[in-house]
A and B are shown apart, each in its own frame.
Chain A
């Protein structure tokens, strides 16, 4: 019953976002695009971070490589749609080769390895000036339509990605892949013992967590019309996406959409009202989330939050 209501709400949310160009001003449509994009990234991360519980922080690497594959292809005259497809495949291949190496690590080492990949990508792209334009960035041909049409177009593109991301999550959830990934989250050794091919499952999950990040990166690059290394491979983004998923509820089907939507709107409010303090406010949200809502908004219950607040205040150190 609860889940059916949740799906209905998700569908309503999706329709609301899709209809934005017809009734909202351009500023709101822009926020809609950002929400749809982060929802895509959040659903992607959910496969490896939520289902399999692997602390992957390589989202920004996938996003940035997608942006650069798509951007460089378009810069050299490839049609937009083809460039996006190329970016998706390229990022998938990148994740496949990287995952084969990186997924041998566990816990902290995996987390560090995946963060460092973002940094290495940024440095390599910056120094590969002939192709990528280096630190001064790369211009990408923009769509020569009316501004309203461009916004509506990219909103719908991102929403399609959002929908595909949701469907991937749904399929993972209902197939043996999701079962295997959940086993890995609970206990990787035991999962291997009962016959789950952990390396294959993890690799499949990792690649699935990358594909749409690549597409979204390329689409975002086409929308913005300009890419540079520090924006494309941002450490903040790579940490923001997991936080969004945790805000909604990791490993659930509705959590990523809820978390991404909530986080982006919160960020927008902070940006517009407390420009100097927005970073601290977001940090505060993260800290509160960890302590008082560890299961995410989906598991929200006033009673539990209250108990945690009083528990936090009265207990000294340690639980």
Chain B
């Protein structure tokens, strides 16, 4: 295969990975919580998009804001009722709690949506220039994923809420003394994490088939992206996502598709040891 084609595939994949991981990264970085629910949030977003499209004929792009809002409220509530109460506990407690919540959500999705793989098939044609082929849905997926991630970056940099989130991440106590309602900010952060997961799930369902069984794999991708790129920042997720996309795309071609995932994981373990802050992460945020 042509190098340009592999490169392009990697970038498309990378943009989607970045949008899948950015919410997870934000929650981990700000709340210091490993959110095991993240994979199921993505699947939920994808399923909502599929069912809206399949049964009511609503275009996923029109549905996206509604899905995002639903997931935000959902995430906010979960954080406010449950996770806030143990947010300062050791990692074993918070991780186990989110895992327990994930088992409940996963079960609900299986019962109400059935575990059949679903995909929104929009016939958007393909684009071709100089032998490099790009299917239309992938192009839309990539652009959308990029827009979502960019939007979050803008919110974090320029809005009051975004600045408050960054302040809480840097120093919880100082932020509290400055009059920031930390629990509220935590819940909003978790809500944004869920929102990004749901939106990314919608994008994902437009490009790949999605099924509940994927929630573990998607969570794994989010882990890898976070550790490669660095925690808690949008730019970290972007770099990590693109890196993982390119690695998988190239190793898939040269080593065989079944090894693409392994290469990503091994690289992540290696980075954990030599540079746990990730490629563009800053020390002190973990």
A interface vs B, CB < 8 Å?
49, 53, 55, 101, 104-105, 107-109, 111-113, 115-117, 119-120, 123-124, 126-127, 235, 239, 242-243, 246, 276-280, 282-287, 289-291, 294, 312, 315-319
Contacts and interface: CB of A to CB of B under 8 A. Distances in A.
Interface of B: 28, 32, 34, 80-82, 84-87, 90-93, 95-97, 99-104, 106-108, 110-111, 183-184, 186-187, 216, 220, 223-224, 227, 258-259, 261-262, 265-266, 268-269, 272-273, 276, 286
A2 B266 CA distance: 48
Q: Interface on chain A toward B: helix, strand, loop, or mixed SS?
A: helix
A109 B103 contact: no
Contact of A239 (B90, B96, B259, B262): B96
B225 to A, nearest CB: 12
Given A111-B91, A239-B96, A287-B97, A101 B258 contact: no
Contact of B223 (A112, A239, A284): A112
Given A112-B272, A124-B262, A291-B85, A286 B111 contact: no
B37 to A, nearest CB: 11
Given A108-B32, A276-B111, A242 B259 contact: no
B91 A123 contact: no
B269 A290 contact: no
Contact of B103 (A107, A279, A317): A279
Nearest to A319: B85
A318 B100 CA distance: 19
Contact of A104 (B224, B262, B273): B273
B269 A113 contact: yes
Contacts of B90: 53, 55, 107
B183 A286 contact: no
Contacts of A116: 220, 223-224, 265, 268-269
25 contacts: A105-B272, A105-B276, A108-B34, A108-B91, A109-B227, A115-B223, A119-B220, A123-B258, A123-B262, A127-B259, A127-B262, A242-B92, A277-B107, A277-B111, A279-B103, A280-B103, A280-B104, A280-B107, A283-B107, A284-B104, A286-B97, A286-B103, A290-B97, A317-B80, A319-B85
